Structure 1
Amino acid sequence: MPFSLDDKLVVAISSRALFDFEEENRVFEEGDLKAYETLQRSRLNVAAKPGVAFALIRKLLALNVGEHHRVEVVLLSRSDPISGLRAFRSCAEHGLAIERGVFTRGRAPFGYLNALNASLFLSANQDDVRDALAAGFPAARVLPESARMASTYPDEIRIAFDGDAVLFSDEAERVFQANGVEAFVSHELDNKDLPLADGPLKPLLEALHKLQKLADGGVRPRIRTVLVTARSAPAHERAIRTLMAWNIEIDEAMFLGGLDKGAFLREFEPDFFFDDQIRHCESARVVTATGHVVSGIVNGS
């Protein structure tokens, strides 16, 4: 019987998001593909160090126990196939059960996300992430300089999300950008009973929510999600009512009204944080692994 991805949370990830390939990437970005490939070949037997998303991926793969294969992680990279050998060998060296990969040797790889039925695409390449989001796939650009938080919670997967233009559409953000905070609050009060449209990472939250339900049967690690938003009362109501309409429960919600998110993320200690605004990502990256969702009006979309 053929293997199917239909019932799994599928994460497609670039080798640079999973491992620390920053030195190699600098050679790649200089435009000398041959020098890059030569460097990678010289290091085929040298396991790469963990990268930004490594801790998250390791925890997600821990949900696969025995015959229960709940999460599939696939390498999806611009690297050449021979460089892909190093990525797979690094996976084996670090004990990551990753068996599938697509290596495109410089060509944009996001087109394969549909065949993979991906719930998330993580890459350090902004153009690839933007193209994936434009095509309707959940995606984020990992910030390679993000902190690698040593989680205090080995039995939990902690993921933090911004709201507007991440979980929700950027409808309300567009009102705010065009007419200011008073118009934004008025708009949200007038529409508090109308759910916001889906944002780019809603499919990921849905997939995580399905896995959360398995925790009732003792599945570990447990998944814990939090909404970290600049919204405050009374605009908080529409966000919560939207989640209720989606029949999705989150564990915590932070309505910060413009407060810096970094301090709150330091307290929550997420394995990963997603936000559409680069200033919030810059604040978060000194605390934990961070992904920039390059979508919505603030990103020119």
Structure 2
Amino acid sequence: MTCPSLLVYVDEGDESDARVELACDLAVSFDALLIGLSASLPQPPMLAPIAGMGEVLAVYRETAESEVERAGARFREITDARSVRAEWRAGLDSPGRMLAGDARAADLIIIAQKARGAPFRAPDPGDVILTAGRPVLVVPPVRARSPVGEPVLVAWKDTRESRQAVAEALPLLRMASRVDVIEVAAAPDMALAGTRTADVCQFLKRHQIEATPTPLADNGDPTTVRILAEASRRKAGLVIAGGYGHGRIRQWMLGGVTRSLLNHGDVCFLMAH
């Protein structure tokens, strides 16, 4: 199992350049086609219709066109320098809607953790996880380590989303220097957590991936804090987790692991829903 095609969202700035460089690293590792995508939706003015509104809208449209053109030029500059097989897609559209649609062309989606300019200039990570139908690699503004060839932490919870994330992460797991499967469990559930994490490791072993099961006793810390602490302690470059197992509206109202992970940390996350 490999990733023959990757799709990376491109905008402007150093963070976007770093994300494209990471996408190039993955494209080289997988001998994959790298699809760059950028979209900008002309933002409607926050004014009541007035004389000259047509000219105002034209300016917004020209601004949006210029943004995606600059993103495309930078993408081509980076991919040409890296000799990566690349394809460019752009449009004056909602970034989230366009990315979700064009996800049909790719095996893995690569986006920013911080959606600056969403929804008009960048896709919201939560929306992408829920709608793309593909695994999503979420890249923080500053990465402590690479998600390729470094230790990987699987943050297991016995849900459909976690099973999907692990299955779709197999190509990246094969390149990991070490894989640990953790599950945070209350004291009465530790034996079951041990069984579940061992099952995941056996599944991975059948795919020629060695992994270590590590059930962790709940110590009262929030699950997100525990996951990030374990990732840091193990020097993980990638954390694999299911996305929005409890529903996004509930997480927005009450908080949740997915929402917290998308707002914190200096490690890449691969999520699936």
TM-score by length of 2: 0.58
Contact 2:184 2:215 in 1 (8 A): yes
Equivalent residues in 2 for 1:1-301, closer than 5 Å: 8-16=3-11, 20-21=15-16, 48=17, 50-51=18-19, 54-55=21-22, 57-63=23-29, 69=31, 71-78=32-39, 81-83=68-70, 84-93=72-81, 95=82, 97-107=84-94, 108=97, 109-116=99-106, 118=107, 120-124=108-112, 125=115, 127=124, 129-134=126-131, 136-144=133-141, 147-150=142-145, 156-164=149-157, 168-169=159-160, 198-199=163-164, 201-208=165-172, 212=174, 224-231=178-185, 233-234=190-191, 235-245=193-203, 247-248=206-207, 249-258=209-218, 260-275=226-241, 276=243, 277=257, 278-280=259-261, 285=265, 288-291=266-269, 293=271, 295=273
- Cα separation, partners in 2 of 1:129 and 1:54, compared to 1, 3 Å: farther
RMSD: 3.8
The C-alpha deviation readout for 1:186-205, integer Å capped at 9, x for no partner, is xxxxxxxxxxx833x23422
Contact 2:6 2:109 in 1 (8 A): yes
Contact 1:273 1:290 in 2 (8 A): yes
Contact 1:110 1:128 in 2 (8 A): no
Contact 2:24 2:34 in 1 (8 A): no
d(CA) in 1 for partners of 2:12, 2:180: 23
Q: Displacement, 1:17?
A: 10
Describe the SS at the equivalent of 1:75.
strand
- Cα separation, partners in 2 of 1:265 and 1:222, compared to 1, 3 Å: closer
Letter in 2 for 1:269: K
d(CA) in 2 for partners of 1:229, 1:96: 41
More helix by share: 2
Letter in 2 for 1:106: D
The C-alpha deviation readout for 1:102-154, integer Å capped at 9, x for no partner, is 223333222122233x1x2122355465355345322254443xx32156x9x
TM-score by length of 1: 0.53
d(CA) in 1 for partners of 2:3, 2:13: 20
Letter in 2 for 1:291: F
Letter in 2 for 1:88: R
Q: Displacement, 1:280?
A: 4.6
Contact 2:190 2:215 in 1 (8 A): yes
The C-alpha deviation readout for 1:160-196, integer Å capped at 9, x for no partner, is 332227xx425xxxxxxxxxxxxxxxxxxxxxxxxxx
Contact 1:133 1:139 in 2 (8 A): no
Letter in 2 for 1:11: L
Contact 2:151 2:178 in 1 (8 A): yes
Q: 1:26 maps to what in 2?
A: none
The C-alpha deviation readout for 1:47-100, integer Å capped at 9, x for no partner, is x4x24x744x35434425xxxx3x44322332555231122213445x372512
Describe the SS at the equivalent of 1:123.
strand
Runs of 4+ in 1 over 4 A off after TM superposition: 16-19, 280-283
Describe the SS at the equivalent of 2:171.
helix
Contact 2:129 2:135 in 1 (8 A): yes
Gaps of 5+ in 1: 1-5, 22-47, 171-196, 213-220, 296-301
d(CA) in 1 for partners of 2:136, 2:217: 26
Describe the SS at the equivalent of 2:130.
helix
- Cα separation, partners in 2 of 1:293 and 1:61, compared to 1, 3 Å: closer
Q: 1:191 maps to what in 2?
A: none
Contact 2:201 2:212 in 1 (8 A): no
Q: 2:223 maps to what in 1?
A: none
